[in-house]
Amino acid sequence: MKVLVIGSGGREHAICWGISNSKKIDKIYCAPGNAGISNIAEIVNIKTDNLEGLVNFAKKENIDFTIVGPEQPLSLGIVDLFRENNLLVFGPSKYASQLESSKEFSKLFMKRNNIPTATFESFTNYESARNYLDNSSIPIVIKADGLASGKGVKVCFSKDEAFSFLKEVMQDKVFSTSGDKVVIESFLKGEEASFFVFSDGKNILTLDSSQDHKRLMDGDKGPNTGGMGAYSPAPIIDQITRQNILNEIVYPVFEGFKKENFEYTGILYIGLMIDNKKPSVVEFNCRFGDPETQPLLFRINSDIFDLFYFTALNKINDYQLEWKSKTAVSVVLASKGYPASPITGDEIRNLKEIDLSTDEYIFHAGTKLDGNKIIISGGRVLNVTALGDTLEAAINKTYECINKIETKNLQYRNDIGVKGLLKKGK
């Protein structure tokens, strides 16, 4: 079977790695891919927003199945276009993808279906939004309505900070047209966690828990990023909390889809705030989270390709999901200057010489090949991932691996997974 994976990040490298272990796969293509993916798949020089180019390639090469990784092509309607051309594809429709591409669409859906989330108002007029902020209590959350690579959200702890960010989004257009509208939300107390649900349009399959680390620096300090590391499972989601997530969020969400007559296929990421075992929705994403994908897929013991394939075939109930009895940790190595002004173009010199065990892997994100050299080409560059019998063992193994990498041009957090140790009382 010939498979096309669309995307170029750590998530897509993890997907390519995961499905490459399936006996059903004859060949993997990845568009546009990265340096690490080139060791697994044939790189195709087509950008993710070139929908016609991707469809034409899939038809020309007789691609049997396509997996869409990032949010942009989903929001542009790539799944609809592939289906119109009778091409089997994994992902939600353009309409359903508004759950991620429009914060307002998502919040209104939750309001209609009584999904626990923060109270909110949306604005297209800067002065109206500023007046609302002026009369609001602090802390408060401001979100650009559209896609902003995980960086269009700010928790503001003073009025001056809120006014400044609002101006950046709506007037200075730091997120381009994604900031034409903003959603202003009340502040939710608690601890963040991630929950993933596969849906074939009729049936659902829930994955194990994970926890992302959004802030740039140790101790959850610094600016928001696309994610600086993740681990799975997350102790904060115990059995009681998991059942609350299912009863109060997952089941009502999919009942809402049914009631509003739109079919959701693919994976739904639910960003949660957990407070005293009670969950509230922070956001929805219509694709796998990055970097949560890396530790989650690293823990799956069953055929990862079938997970995607059976979902697209509306046969998810036929899939038997099995987990390794280990914990996985993934730490992001980002370029210096990330997220504001990442420095690119430098070489990472010693990656090929690093000896990895079967419980370790380095997923590439912002890398490209220049001859035999691996060059930094983006903000988040590498995802160092390891399995351990315990969370502590997985953390230690991950950072031991990082210590083998030349990191003078890279930055990373030193506390990924520590929250989980604290939950376990270690």
pLDDT of residue 425: 57
pLDDT of residue 151: 79
Same domain, 167 and 223: no
Q: Is residue 98 part of a domain?
A: no
Amino acid of residue 263: E
Q: Is residue 76 part of a domain?
A: yes
Tell which residue, 87, 93, 90, has the closest CA to residue 15: 90
Measure CA of the first residue to CA of the last residue in the chain; give whole Å: 46
Tokens of 85: 């051309």
pLDDT of residue 259: 96
Same domain, 321 and 206: yes
pLDDT of residue 424: 62
The pLDDT tens digits along the chain (426 residues) read 999 999 999 999 999 999 999 999 999 999 999 999 999 999 999 999 999 999 999 999 999 999 999 999 999 999 999 999 999 999 999 999 999 999 999 999 999 999 999 999 999 999 999 999 999 999 999 999 999 877 789 999 999 999 999 999 999 999 999 999 999 999 999 999 999 999 999 999 999 999 999 999 999 999 989 999 999 999 999 999 999 999 999 999 999 999 999 899 999 999 999 999 999 999 999 999 999 999 999 999 999 999 999 999 999 999 999 999 999 999 999 999 999 899 999 999 889 889 999 999 999 999 999 999 999 999 999 999 999 999 999 999 999 999 999 888 999 999 999 988 876 654
Same domain, 298 and 259: yes
CA distance 391 to 299: 13
Interior CA angle at 363 toward 20 and 359, to 5°? 75
Which residue range forms the structural domain that includes residue 240?
191-423
List, as own/partner pairs, every contact residues 88-92 make where C-beta atoms lie below 8 angstroms and the sequence separation is at least 24, other chains included: 88/64, 88/312, 88/313, 89/65, 89/312, 90/65, 90/66, 90/265, 90/266, 90/308, 90/309, 90/311, 90/312, 91/67, 91/265, 91/266, 91/286, 91/287, 92/264, 92/265, 92/266, 92/268, 92/286
Number of domains in the chain: 3
Task: Give the Å distances, CA to CA, from 93 to 80, 233, 293, 301, 361.
Answer: 6, 29, 21, 29, 32
pLDDT of residue 224: 87
DSSP, collapsed to helix, strand or coil, labels residue 23 as: coil
pLDDT of residue 422: 79
pLDDT of residue 77: 97
List strand residue ranges (DSSP E) for 105-217, in order. 120-123, 140-144, 153-156, 182-186, 191-200, 204-206, 211-212, 215-217
Find the CATH number of the domain harbouring 74. 3.40.50.20
End of a domain among 70, 91, 112?
91
Same domain, 158 and 257: no
pLDDT of residue 352: 84
Q: Is residue 115 part of a domain?
A: no
Return the number of other C-beta atoms located less than 10 Å from residue 249's C-beta. 22
Which residues is 205 bridged to in the sheet? Answer: 198
Does the pTM surpass 0.85? The reply is yes
Which residues is 195 bridged to in the sheet? Answer: 270
Q: Is residue 337 part of a domain?
A: yes
Same domain, 200 and 173: no
Find the CATH number of the domain harbouring 134. 3.30.1490
Same domain, 48 and 145: no
Same domain, 292 and 403: yes
Which residues is 31 bridged to in the sheet? Answer: 6
Q: State CA 189 to chain mean position distance.
A: 22
Q: 345's torsion region: left (phi>0), alpha (psi -120 to 50) or beta?
A: left
Q: Is residue 185 part of a domain?
A: no
Find the CATH number of the domain harbouring 377. 3.30.470.20
Are β-strands 42-43 and 27-32 bridged in parallel, bridged antiparallel, or unpaired?
A: parallel
Q: Is residue 116 part of a domain?
A: no
Same domain, 245 and 135: no
Amino acid of residue 21: N
Same domain, 138 and 162: yes
Same domain, 284 and 404: yes
Same domain, 166 and 207: no
Same domain, 287 and 377: yes
Q: Is residue 58 part of a domain?
A: yes
CA distance 20 to 133: 50
Residue for token pair 């007029």: 125
Q: Is residue 380 part of a domain?
A: yes
Q: Where are the alpha helices (DSSP H) in 171-271?
A: 239-245, 251-259
Residue 105, CB-side half-sphere exposure with 13 Å CA sphere: 15
Q: What are phi and psi of 152, to 5 degrees?
A: -90, 25
